[in-house]
Every structure is written in structure tokens, then in C-alpha cells.
Structure 1
Amino acid sequence: MWLRRTAVCAMVVPLAFLVLRDAPVRLAAPDRATAKPAAPPAAPRPAIVSRAEWHADESLVKEHAVYTGAVKAVFVHHTGHTNSYDCADAPKMLRAMEEMHVRGEGWDDIGYNFVVDRCGTIYEGRAGGVGRSVRGAHTTGFNAHSVGIAALGTFDPGVPVPKALIEGIAKVGAWKLDRDVDPRGFVRLVSTNDDSLYRRGEVVHLHTVAGHRDTFSTYCPGEALYAQLPVIRAEMARLRDRASARRTG
């Protein structure tokens, strides 16, 4: 499968190396549960660039969205792109990534629920509605009841992680995470796929805000971004505490 993929454009060539080790996997038997009304979010919705605004190719989408209920975990990824891009080029990069995920890898849609660029701009990823709990294809074995947020770039050891990027990830994570779940705490999840680091059916206790490497054999989201996960957790908690104070103040 991997050998059939070719690079879509020069801008996403660095992604090719990552995808070999870091490919989201679509579950073979999706649970087409009906989404239930969610409780009000613990933090306000941030500004999000919609699929229509970044000109996603909706004709590429193969399946209707699957909804899995309240978000209990946040998985942080990186996309493998170069870090020297102009943020104005992010929509073009997303379109190339969508085409690679669907036409190159055979997935239903772009794998991540959200993508954040180095300027902190948040983009809608997988289709289905940003306000709903859309099951992505970002973290094998743990796609249900989670949200996948990808940082546009590659964060190897020593690579600076922009403050705006950290804040963007925290904003969307604080908004999407179930209000009863502490972003600084841990969550109990059950693996649904033997291809993860855990056997199917195995109960796992993970950080509520985790890196892709915590459940899959990969270096994603890169050493530099992984080291910033405590900062992201703290910022998510701060945003939610501030929102709570405003509601009760």
C-alpha cells in the first residue's frame, strides 16, 4: 500500500517520510452511532477556518461522518511538513494533504479533526461539523471519543515550537474536551485495534492530552512538540478556568 503513494506536490514531500510510520488507520467496521446533544463546552469556541474557506475538495470524501459522543481525550500530532512555510500557504498545504490522505492512502477523508499552523490559525480538518464529535482517523485504536489536533510542521529535537501554535492547540482542545474531564489529568480508554501499542480490548490509562506516540509506534508529534504537552495541558486548564470564572462572576 505504501509503495503506491506518490508525493502530491513539492510542498508536502517531507510528509511522505512521516506517513510511512505515522499513518492514521480507518477502522474496518465503523460504529454509526447517532450523536447525542452535548453539554455546553467548558471553554469558548475559537475562530476556526472552515473547510469551505480553505477550499477542501468535498468530492474526495468517501463516507459520511461517524459520531462517537463526548470527547474524553486529545491527541496531538504533527504533519511532517517543512517549518519554513508562509502561513498564507497553509490552505494550499491542507488541500495537498487531503488529496494525499484520500487518493494516495485510500482513507475516507483527511485524518485529523483539526490542524493548527505556526501562526496559531486553526483549520477544520475532517468533515462532519466542528461542533460535533466526529471520529477521525488519527490515532489507531483510539479514534472514538477523542479529537486529533495536528500541528502543521515537523518538530524534531531542538526545533522551536511557536507560542502561537501552542496556544492554538490549547484553544481548540479546551473547547472540544468534555467539560467534566481535566486536561491536566488522566483518562481511561479501551483500545479498539491490535495495531496500536495495546491489544484490542485492553484498558489503558493515558494523559488526557497525549501525543500520538503514547498509543502507536511513532515519533509523532516530534520531540520538541511532545515536550510542550505539559504547557498545552496547563494552557487548556487556564482557558477553561477563565471561562468558568466569567460564567460565575
Structure 2
Amino acid sequence: MYKTIGIIAVVCVFLPESMTIVTREEWGAKPPKTPTLFNGPSPYVIIHHSYEPGACYTAKECQEAVQSIQELHQEVRGWSDVGYTFLIGGDGNVYEGRGFNVVGAHAPGYNDKSVGICLIGDWRTELPTEKMLEATHKLIEYGISSGYIVKDYKLLVPIFVLLLIALLPNIMMAYVTREEWGAKPAKLVEKFRGPSPYVIIHHSYQPGACFTTDDCKAAMRSMQEFHQIGRGWNDIGYTFAIGGDGNIYEGRGFNVVGAHAPGYNNRSVGICVIGDWRFKLPPPNMLEAVHNLIDYGVSKEFIAKDFKLLGHRQVRDTECPGDRLFDEITTWPHWSAFPSQSNKKINV
């Protein structure tokens, strides 16, 4: 026996009765602003946790949790809809998000070729319940049997949900380590006690934007060489960098004193969005990666919950992170108008 479920009123699928799904109408979803379809099947399945809201264990709590996630994604982040393809509640139900073959907003660089599954709750120090894991397995198995997910799919686990690697084999990460991009050793590593009260956004200006992983790795190496050799610093100056491929590139890492913002290097996370963003905005996958990295930092207590978001120009006389990117971050939660610097700018 099967029942019909509408996916954003565009795609209809048949789900076995053994898998309980709560439709968008049932959990009280608002309409998506601009749903966009892609051709399946998806070669990737990406696992997330919500962190906040926390775990829900009744249908009422889970419906409210999904509503709050959609509100955050639509109203605060300006996305078309809740970012995930599906969500899993502590009641063991599958909650319909954007649905199969609909472009998501959950994994930069993979939104048009993946199924994003969010397990509602904070799963940093413990595993989700057995019925949540079982529902996740059933959803993936259904996706394969119905042709929405390829049989030899890759499971990607973003850095915010590492405990969930117990779910399935063949794990990948949308995160590039120092070793992977070919970093030279740091001359000196000085640590500070977190969490960081500031997040500071930069652009590289030069090198310009990179849109393939090979190009972004080369950009990281060139920045490190410039910082170590040209400026005599211990290492690449930034805590992390974001590539046009949507990947997060490890720089000095959390709680390591940086060289990116005078007066703030021992109390901030410096994120460089690779490219020149004076006149145009970075593509959505880069901005999503910045948001995801910050969310992860807060969830792991590397970044204070009440952190202040600044542009580099606010702590140094520079046009960094570029007029267009700076205008964008002033609309983000946590941006602070203070401190501010003079209007004299240099290309850094």
C-alpha cells in the first residue's frame, strides 16, 4: 500500500506506509518564493543538524521546529524556502522540506545535485535517537528505489555534524584542510582562549575569484606565500577562506592568533572570501558557506553566541572586503556599526 505525497506542489512521489512523512501543509509551511527544479538523480546525500532549534520529541514540537527553521531561512537569510530537502524529527517522522529534485540552500556547491537531510537537534556530543537514524536510512533507501538518489551516492557530512559519520560509509566533507590545499608549515602557532567575540569579513582582492577546487587551492597557496614570504608573517593571515567552489578552506583555524585585523587578531575569526568584491557580490554558494561556517563556530563555542560581525574596513584603513560585499554583510544578523574607521582606504 502506498500514499501520494506532493513535493512543493510540483512533484508527486509515492512513499511506503512504513515511512511516516509530514507534508508541508501538515506542518504549516509558508509557500516557497521561487522553487527551482534540477534533473536527478542526486549523486550526493548531505547530513545536517539544526543545532537550534533543539531536539523535538512530539509531533507538535517538531512541527513548530520546522516552522521556526523555515522562518529563519526565509525571513532572516532571505532564502526562497527552508533550506533542506527533508528534516527528521525526534518523533521519528520525516518532514517534507523542499523535496526531491528541488534546488536547496543547505550545502554550497551541492544544492543542485544533492539531497539535504536535517536531523532536528544539537548532535555534537550525542547521537540522535534510533528512530531518527532509522527514518534517515528509510528516506535514503526510498530515494534510491524511486530514482531520486543514485545507487552509488556519496554521503557528505559538513563539519558541523561529525558524530553522524556512524550513519553510512563513503563519507566526504565540503571542507578543505591545510594538508589538502598544500599549506606550508606555520612558522609559529599562538593560540588564544575562545570563544571569539568578533567575526571579521575580508576579501582577498588578489588573487581574484576562483571557481574550481584546483584554482582555489592555488589561491590559498599564493596567499600563504605572500603572507609568509612577502610580509614575514607566521602563516596565512586568515582563520578560514571561502572559495568560489563553495568549499571552506582551513587557514590558521579557530582560536589561533591571526594576522588579518590589527587589535583583533587574538579575539576574532577572520574569514576571507576569495576574490575582488568591490563591484559585485560573491555568488550565493560562497555566502552560504560563510553563514554555515559561522553557525558551526557558534555551535562548537569557538564563536560567542552574541558575536559582533565586522568588515575589515571597520578596524583598518582599507576598502576590504569591497564595497559590494560590505554592503551585503551590513544586512546580516550580528553586524555592528562600531567600531568604524576613517574613509581613507587602500587596496588590502
**Please, what TM-score do these two structures have when normalized by structure 1?**
0.59
The reply on whether 1:62 has 2:187 as its aligned counterpart is yes
Q: Which has the higher helix share?
A: 1
Deviation at 1:87, TM superposition (A): 4.0
**Contact 1:135–1:143 (8 Å) recurs in 2:** yes
Q: Distance in 2 between matches of 1:232 and 1:149?
A: 15
Give the structure-2-normalised TM-score: 0.43
The Cα offsets for residues 108-127 of structure 1, whole Å up to 9 and x where unpaired, read as 1100000001222100012x
Give the alignment partner of residue 144 of structure 1, picking from 255, 266, 287: 266
Deviations 1:148-191 (A, max 9, x none): 0000000112x1320011011111112224465235xxxxxxxx
String of CA shifts for 1:181-238, please: whole Å, max 9, x gaps.
Answer: 235xxxxxxxxxxxxxxxxxxxxxxxx111001111111000111111145438xxxx
Mean CA deviation greater in 93-102 or 222-231: 222-231
Q: Distance in 1 between matches of 2:203 and 2:190?
A: 23
- The answer on 1:77 being equivalent to 2:202 is yes
- Aligned-residue identity in percent: 32
Residue in structure 1 matching 2:176, options 34, 49, 67: 49
1:167–1:232 CA contact under 8 A, matched in 2: no
Asked if 2 retains the 8 angstrom alpha-carbon contact of 1:71 and 1:176, the reply is no
Q: Is the 8 A contact 1:138 1:148 kept in 2?
A: yes
Contact 2:176 2:248 in 1 (8 A): yes
Select 1:182's aligned residue among 290, 306, 310.
306
Higher relative contact order (CA 8 A, sep 6+): 1
* Mapped partners of 1:172, 1:79: distance in 2: 18
Matched ranges for 1:47-196 at <5 A: 47-58=174-185, 61-80=186-205, 81-83=207-209, 86-126=212-252, 130=253, 132-157=254-279, 159-177=280-298, 178=301, 181-182=305-306
In 2: Cα distance, 1:229 partner to 1:160 partner? 10
* Cα distance in 1 between the residues matched to 2:255 and 2:175: 16
Q: What letter corresponds to residue 326 of structure 2 in structure 1? A: Y
Deviations 1:84-105 (A, max 9, x none): 6544311111111111110111
Number of residues of Structure 1 aligned to a counterpart in Structure 2:
164
Gaps of 5+ in 1: 1-39, 184-207, 235-249
Write the letter of the residue equivalent to 1:78. Answer: H
Distance 2:296 2:331 in 1: 16
Return the index of the structure with the highest Cα Rg. Answer: 2
Alignment check: 8 A CA contact 1:170 1:233 kept: no
* RMSD, matched Cα: 2.6
Letter of the 1:120 partner, please give it. G
- Decide whether the 8 Å contact of 1:118 with 1:164 is kept in 2: yes
Helix, strand or coil: the match of 1:227?
helix
Unaligned runs of 5+ in 2: 1-123, 126-158, 162-172, 335-348
